[in-house]
Amino acid sequence: MPVNHQTYRDNNFNNRFINHAGLQNKISQLNADDIFAVGQIGASAQGRAIYCLSIGTGKPEVLLWSQMHGDEPTATLALLDLFNFFIADDEHNGVRKQILDNCTLHFIPMLNPDGTEVFTRRNAQNIDINRDFLAEQSPEARILKQIQQRIKPEFGFNLHDQGSLWSVQGSKKPAPIALLAPPADEQASVSPSRLKAIKVAAGINNLLQQQIPGQIGRWDDTFEPRSFGDNFQRLGMATILIESGGYVGDPERQFVRKLNFDGILFALQQIASGEYQNQDTADYYSIPQNNKEIFHILIKNCRLQTKAGIIQADIGLNYSEQFDLPKQTSTLVYTVADIGDLDTWGAYEYIEAEGAIITDVLVIDSQANFTLKSPAGAAICFENGIIVSKNN
């Protein structure tokens, strides 16, 4: 019987903006249930508590960590939903028993609480924790290394968010999920731990292809000697990277949150049963590369007034977000990313502008400041990068 994510979704968190206080409230509830073993394993550079929650009695040990980059919360939310699944008592008790009798799970749901508070990638020292494996300047990096050395897990899940402009090569579609079994060396050798990770990732891919066919990418496997995934793989922990990306109509990544829940739970079942060993490695290598071949908005077949006359071209526009964290909102500010023949590119949104002309000057890499009114009926107006009117 399939596990319905909606049953276990934590409805206290309905957008991307989880903070440390919200996590602490959740952990306090779980601690009171006395099902998870909850412990503070250290503190961030600014003194915020970093927690590990453990459950299960079997082998192998599995370590899952999220939000080592503070602006990458999607998997954190999925872990909260998984916590709800593991404390439930219902028709899926058999699944729980299989996993928890045959694995011990260790979750670090927010490794970088300082970055989370201000929704930035780096920690309070301005260090990218995922490039601090060797230098160990950040307390957060030291904490993650210490718990890995103490537990010596056989499997690890390195959970991240990628930007919304990552796409699946050749598809013109966003990549809401990207997977990687990180390399353990510059040759991207298939070590015993990496082979296990490849098979687990292949299983996740095969499952999620049923929900998002053709929209899973494979992250670049260039060896990064400063990162945790590559080094943990080198140390013999089968490490799987899951990157959460964009999906059309899902700006808060709540559907992608579900994909994380489904994929991680399936992977844990595969590990607990040993079924991951039967996965075909060819299924992993068949995953197309993660790429950047999409825009947020693509205006097609527009006529543009230029200094050298009128041309017909496509216009690709991308946004950056300006966050208002107290209100848990963001403002989208668009720039002109490219002009020309963009027929090989995709987009979240297409605007057909055949017959329309833009007389405003467009400058690539500058904020969008123009008005388009298409004979086909579409109209859009940008002022200082912000959409002030739109009619489809």
> Does 302 lie in the same domain as 283?
no
What is the predicted pLDDT for the residue at 362?
A: 93
Query: Would you state the structure tokens that stand for residue 229, as one six-digit string?
Result: 């995934």
Contact present, 200 and 267 (Cβ < 8 Å): yes
> Does 359 lie in the same domain as 242?
no
> Does 313 lie in the same domain as 256?
no
CA angle 122, 328, 11 (to 5 degrees): 105
> Does 161 lie in the same domain as 104?
yes
What is the predicted pLDDT for the residue at 378?
A: 67
Q: Is 21 exposed, middle or buried (0-12, 13-18, 19+ CB in 10 A)?
A: exposed
DSSP state, 66?
E
Q: What residue type is assigned to position 27 of the chain?
A: I
Sign of CA dihedral 30, 36, 37, 42: negative
Give the tens place of pLDDT for each residue, 294-336.
Answer: 999 999 999 998 888 899 999 999 999 999 999 999 999 999 9
Beta strands in the chain (DSSP E): 37-43, 49-56, 61-66, 104-108, 155-161, 167-168, 173-174, 177-180, 216-218, 238-244, 290-291, 294-306, 309-324, 329-340, 346-352, 357-358, 370-373, 379-383, 386-391
User: Domain of 381?
Assistant: 294-391
Question: What CATH number corresponds to the domain at position 299?
Answer: 2.30.40.10
Q: How many distinct structural domains can be found in the chain?
A: 2
Q: Determine the Cα–Cα distance for residues 355 and 332; give it in Å rounded to an integer.
A: 28
Give the tens place of pLDDT for each residue, 36-86.
Answer: 999 999 999 999 999 999 999 999 999 999 999 999 999 999 999 999 999
Q: Are strands 167-168 and 290-291 parallel, antiparallel or unpaired?
A: antiparallel
> Does 116 lie in the same domain as 91?
yes
> Does 286 lie in the same domain as 324?
no
Last residue of a domain, one of 291, 313, 329: 291
Contact present, 154 and 102 (Cβ < 8 Å): no
What is the predicted pLDDT for the residue at 389?
A: 87
Contact present, 314 and 340 (Cβ < 8 Å): yes
Q: Determine the Cα–Cα distance for residues 300 and 338; give it in Å rounded to an integer.
A: 12
What lies within 8 Å, CB to CB, of 146 at 6+ separation is: 41, 42
Query: Would you state the structure tokens that stand for residue 84, as one six-digit string?
Result: 């709800």
What is the predicted pLDDT for the residue at 215?
A: 98
The position carrying tokens 């945790």 is 228
> Does 69 lie in the same domain as 13?
yes
> Does 196 lie in the same domain as 59?
yes
> Does 313 lie in the same domain as 244?
no
What lies within 8 Å, CB to CB, of 131 at 6+ separation is: 224, 226, 227
Last residue of a domain, one of 256, 271, 291: 291
Beta strands in 193-308 (DSSP E): 216-218, 238-244, 290-291, 294-306
> Does 329 lie in the same domain as 206?
no
Q: Determine the Cα–Cα distance for residues 220 and 304; give it in Å rounded to an integer.
A: 37
> Does 360 lie in the same domain as 285?
no
Query: Would you state the structure tokens that stand for residue 185, as one six-digit string?
Result: 């060396």
> Does 188 lie in the same domain as 82?
yes
Q: What residue type is assigned to position 290 of the chain?
A: N
Last residue of a domain, one of 239, 263, 291: 291
What is the predicted pLDDT for the residue at 79?
A: 98
Contact present, 307 and 295 (Cβ < 8 Å): no
Question: What CATH number corresponds to the domain at position 64?
Answer: 3.40.630.10
The position carrying tokens 């966003």 is 174
Q: What are the per-10-residue average pLDDT scores of the chain (392 residues)? A: 94 96 96 94 98 98 98 98 98 98 98 98 98 98 98 98 97 97 96 98 98 97 97 98 98 98 98 98 97 97 90 96 95 98 97 89 95 79 94 74
